[in-house]
Amino acid sequence: MQMIIIEGNIGAGKSTLTTQLSEALGAKAFFEPVQTNPYLEKYYEDPKKYALPMQFYLMSNRFGLHQEGIEHIWKTGQSCIYDRSIYGDYIFAKRNWLDGNMSQLDFENYNKMREVMLKSLMVPHVTLYLDAKPETCQRNINMRSRNCESGIPLEYLQGLDDLYRELVFELKQKGSQVVEIDWNEFRPVEYILEKLEEKLPGISHSHNRGYINEIAIQ
């Protein structure tokens, strides 16, 4: 039984891969709250006003999902896989602070709450980092045509990309097995399973296949 998180920039292709891996590994899939996020469209319209409340909303939701996954693992023995996690939430909070959408005090309060939450959570056994260029992500965003994402500038995606190295380093320091994959072109799930096997031999054969229960909260 494993807790697997998939991290990567907006538009990298995390949701599609999460679905495919959940089926291949027989893992329970958790998706980030895009459709139910009450702040998302407002944030893109006025980021300075809505950055902080949206970040706290997302962090609290991801905290709850992480707890739910821990409970599920212990009760059923089935693995869980996440389309972004509470760990990756930090990337967006820091970008908002650097861009001036959050004050120094707001960012400090966010980090204090994050530290409190992370102390009570299981470190993900595996982190899959989809390393896609910002230009690739922007092309994917335009192809999926979500209204709230239509105006995301390339500079914003580049800013997020700059911070992902911090996240990868943090997760390695915490003990998560990080698998970095060049994701400038979508790869078949078999390729990902091979990469996982290199880090954790037997992972693709040790799960209860066929049991799939996706929770789409975003």
Q: What is the pLDDT of residues 49-63, one digit of tens each?
A: 999 999 999 999 999
* CATH architecture entry for 3-216: 3-Layer(aba) Sandwich (3.40)
Q: Is 83 a catalytic residue?
A: yes
Distance of alpha carbon 107 from alpha carbon 113, whole angstroms: 10
141-159 pLDDT, tens digit each = 888 766 656 678 899 999 9
Query: Which residue, among 156, 48, 42, has the nearest Cα to 102 in the 3D structure?
Result: 48
Closest to 9 in 3D by CA, of 162, 204, 191, 143 = 162
Q: How far is Cα 22 from Cα 2, in angstroms, rounded to an integer?
A: 12
What's the pLDDT band for 71 if we cut at 50, 70, 90? very high
pLDDT band at 116 (very low <50, low <70, confident <90, very high): very high
Q: Kindly report the pTM of this predicted structure.
A: 0.86
For residues 193-210, average pLDDT: 68
The domain segmentation of the chain, as residue ranges, is: 3-216
Under the banding of pLDDT at 50, 70 and 90, the label for residue 22 is very high
Neighbours of 82 (CB within 10 A): 28
- pLDDT value at residue 213: 36
